[in-house]
Amino acid sequence: MTDLYPLRFAPIYQYRIWGGRRLAHLLSDPLPPDDPIGEAWLLSDRKDHASIIANGAFKGSTLSEILAQAPEQLMGEATGRFQRFPLLLKFLDAQDTLSVQVHPSDTQVDYLPSGESGKTEAWVVLEAGKDARVYAGLVPGSDLDTLQSALANGTIADQLAYFTPKPGDAILIPAGTVHTMRDVVVFEVQENSDVTFRLFDWDHVDPKTGKPRPLQVEQAMACIDLAQGAKAPTLPVVEERDPLRELLFNSDHFRLWRVQSDIPFTVGESRRPRVLVCLSGNGFVEHDAVPHAIGKGDVMLLPAIVGECTCRPQVSMRILELALPERS
298-316 tens-digit pLDDT: 999 999 999 999 999 999 9
Whether 2 maps to a domain, the answer reads no
Q: Which amino acid is at 101?
A: Q
The verdict on 118 and 157 lying in the same domain is yes
* Residue pair 89/30 in contact by the 8 Å Cβ criterion: no
The verdict on 215 and 246 lying in the same domain is no
The verdict on 56 and 197 lying in the same domain is yes
Domain termination residue (choose one: 191, 223, 255)? 223
Q: What pLDDT shows up at residue 41?
A: 97
For the segment 220-268, what is each residue's pLDDT rounded down to a tens digit? 999 999 988 899 999 999 999 999 999 999 999 999 999 999 999 999 9
Q: Can you tell me the distance from the alpha carbon of 33 to that of 93, in angstroms, rounded to the nearest whole number?
A: 16
pTM of the model: 0.96
pLDDT range class, residue 67, cuts 50, 70, 90? very high
Hey, is 48 helix, strand or coil? Answer: coil
Nearest to 160 by CA among 234, 230, 233: 230
The verdict on 256 and 141 lying in the same domain is no
pLDDT range class, residue 328, cuts 50, 70, 90? low
Q: What is the mean pLDDT of the chain?
A: 95
For the segment 106-139, what is each residue's pLDDT rounded down to a tens digit? 999 999 999 899 999 999 999 999 999 999 999 9
Whether 232 maps to a domain, the answer reads no
Q: Which amino acid is at 257?
A: W
- The distance of Cα 211 from the centroid of its chain, to the nearest Å, equals 28
The verdict on 148 and 179 lying in the same domain is yes
Whether 228 maps to a domain, the answer reads no
Element (H, E) at 74: helix 71-75
The verdict on 181 and 61 lying in the same domain is yes
For the segment 163-222, what is each residue's pLDDT rounded down to a tens digit? 999 999 999 999 999 999 999 999 999 999 999 999 999 999 999 999 999 999 999 999
The verdict on 49 and 130 lying in the same domain is yes
Q: Which residues, 6 or more positions from 246, have their beta carbon under 8 angstroms from its beta carbon?
A: 236, 237, 238, 239, 257, 258, 259
The verdict on 265 and 302 lying in the same domain is yes
Per the structure, the count of domains in the chain is 2
Report the 10 Å Cβ neighbour count for 202: 16
Whether 28 maps to a domain, the answer reads yes
Whether 156 maps to a domain, the answer reads yes
The verdict on 204 and 247 lying in the same domain is no
The verdict on 256 and 201 lying in the same domain is no
Q: Is 86 exposed, middle or buried (0-12, 13-18, 19+ CB in 10 A)?
A: buried
Percentage of the chain beyond pLDDT 90 is 94
Whether 192 maps to a domain, the answer reads yes
Q: Is the pLDDT of residue 327 over 70?
A: no
Q: What pLDDT shows up at residue 325?
A: 80
Identify the sign of the CA torsion 274, 46, 80, 120. positive
Whether 231 maps to a domain, the answer reads no
Q: Can you tell me the distance from the alpha carbon of 66 to that of 55, in angstroms, rounded to the nearest whole number?
A: 13
What's the domain range around 253?
237-323
List the CATH number of the domain containing 63: 2.60.120.10
* Residue pair 269/307 in contact by the 8 Å Cβ criterion: yes
The verdict on 149 and 284 lying in the same domain is no
Domain termination residue (choose one: 164, 199, 223)? 223
Render 190-247 in DSSP notation, one character per residue.
Answer: EES----EEEE-TT--BTTTTBPPPP-HHHHHHH--TT---------EEEEETTEEEE
For the segment 37-65, what is each residue's pLDDT rounded down to a tens digit? 999 999 999 998 999 999 999 999 999 99
